[in-house]
Amino acid sequence: MNGTLACHKGLVMLVVMKANASQDDVQAVCRKVESLGLRAHAIPGAQRTAIGITGNQGEVEPGTFEALDCVQEVIRVSKPYKLVSRELKEETTVIRFADSDASIGGNEVAVIAGPCGVESREQAFAAAERVAKAGARFFRGGAYKPRTSPYAFQGLGELGLQILAEVRERFGLLIVTEAVDHESLALVDQYADVIQIGARNMQNFSLLKRAGRAHKPVLLKRGMSATLEEFLMAAEYIMSEGNYNVVLCERGVRTFADHTRNTLDLSVVPAVQRLSHLPIIVDPSHGTGKRNKVTPLSRAAVAVGADGLIIEVHPDPDNALSDGNQSLYPDQFDSLMVEVRQIANVLGRVVAGPVANPMARRHAGAAAD
Ligand code: PEP
Ligand code: MN
């Protein structure tokens, strides 16, 4: 494939607006971009708005924009990925949620926890109660499971999504769940707070584009043999369709090492942070495949500067329908939270504290916004 080559030939421009440019100015520049048959992506930053120009129509004359009073400068983006690049936006993207004070990419290390798959209402509720009390803000659980064997548990489908919606109502947790195709993505977009795209679909470009047209943030997991550039280009697919709320997730890559299920590449965290403004979280559960390695690697992930963790926790791992070997017992998750909280504090970050009544926190947070 010569994907990289094609991208280098594509459009590489970024229009940086002056700090005092108005909304009308931004819109006028966007209209000008669109009149050239291209797409404008206005991304507000702390100091100024940048407008990324994408399309595959060839070069644009920088002078077209430089001449405008409201424009500070026009930059050629040197990387094949443009909208995900730190050249577009200096500060890390913070993803926020309505009716919640939880976020991903801010000072708080986001913790997403729950079972691999939603197996029943009882199982999901038992997991949710414990992870919410321990301080997790987000609940994970697949309703659509991409399994190696067609005979393995495939997930409860829409019923699983309904159970997840009940979990949100009952425990005040934001819901993260995987979509595996266009049909499930439309449903996940309705029910969940974050749409997960799994490692096996990281280069399913049609699904990525569909996620780019969805209304919810996307959690994009790294493909099991994806390079950093391929990973960022997958995020670029989502952003190029207009969804700018993308969270990257390192979940281990395949190497010759066989003492763990995958090799968790923690070095990708600072590498991503250097190149991209998107938040990056770590999945030590799939990254190691072994329960006794999840806590050590969670500590390391927070220490290396990850913006969050996604951890499998099951009320009864020994009888889990998927990934029991890597699922923590709820008591182990309690200890993990205590430890990562201390590590986060050393770095000037926070992990939400344990709560007796998670719903009270949710409403307090919403009222404070
Ligand atoms: C999961 O999070 O349940 C999952 C299937 O992860 P991955 O896509 O990283 O294998
Ligand atoms: Mn799993």
Residue among 112, 116, 222, 326 to mutate when testing ligand 1 (max atoms within 8 A of CB):
116
Tokens of 367: 């009222």
User: What is the pLDDT at residue 93?
Assistant: 98
**Burial letters for 14-33: b for 16+ Cβ neighbours within 10 Å, e otherwise?**
bbbbeeebeeebbeebbebb
CB neighbourhood size of 98 (10 A) = 8
Instruction: Answer yes or no: do 124 and 270 share one domain.
Output: yes
Q: What is the pTM of this model?
A: 0.94
Residue 2 lies in a domain: no
Tell how far the Cα of 198 is from the centroid of ligand 1, in angstroms.
5
SS3 264: coil
Instruction: Answer yes or no: do 103 and 61 share one domain.
Output: no
Tell how far the Cα of 286 is from the centroid of ligand 1, in angstroms.
7
Q: Can you list the positions of beta strands (E) in the chain?
A: 13-17, 39-44, 49-54, 71-76, 95-96, 103-104, 110-114, 138-140, 174-178, 194-197, 218-221, 246-250, 280-282, 308-312
The tally of domains found in the chain comes to: 2
Q: Pairing relation of β-strands 103-104 and 49-54?
A: unpaired
Q: Is the pLDDT of residue 11 over 80?
A: no
Ligand 1 environment, Cβ below 6 A:
116, 142, 146, 198-200, 221, 251, 286
**pLDDT tens digits, 48-76:** 999 999 887 667 888 889 999 999 999 98
CA-CA distance, 337 to 351, in Å (whole number)? 8
Instruction: Answer yes or no: do 53 and 162 share one domain.
Output: no
**pLDDT tens digits, 143-168:** 999 999 999 999 999 999 999 999 99
* CA of 145, closest atom in ligand 1: 5
Which residue range forms the structural domain that includes residue 181? 95-363
**pLDDT tens digits, 199-233:** 999 999 999 999 999 999 999 999 999 999 999 99
Q: Between these two residues, 369 and 278, which has the higher pLDDT value?
A: 278
Domain stops at, among 22, 46, 76: 76
User: What is the pLDDT at residue 303?
Assistant: 98
CA-CA distance, 113 to 309, in Å (whole number)? 8
Q: Domain containing 39 — which CATH number? A: 3.30.70.1140
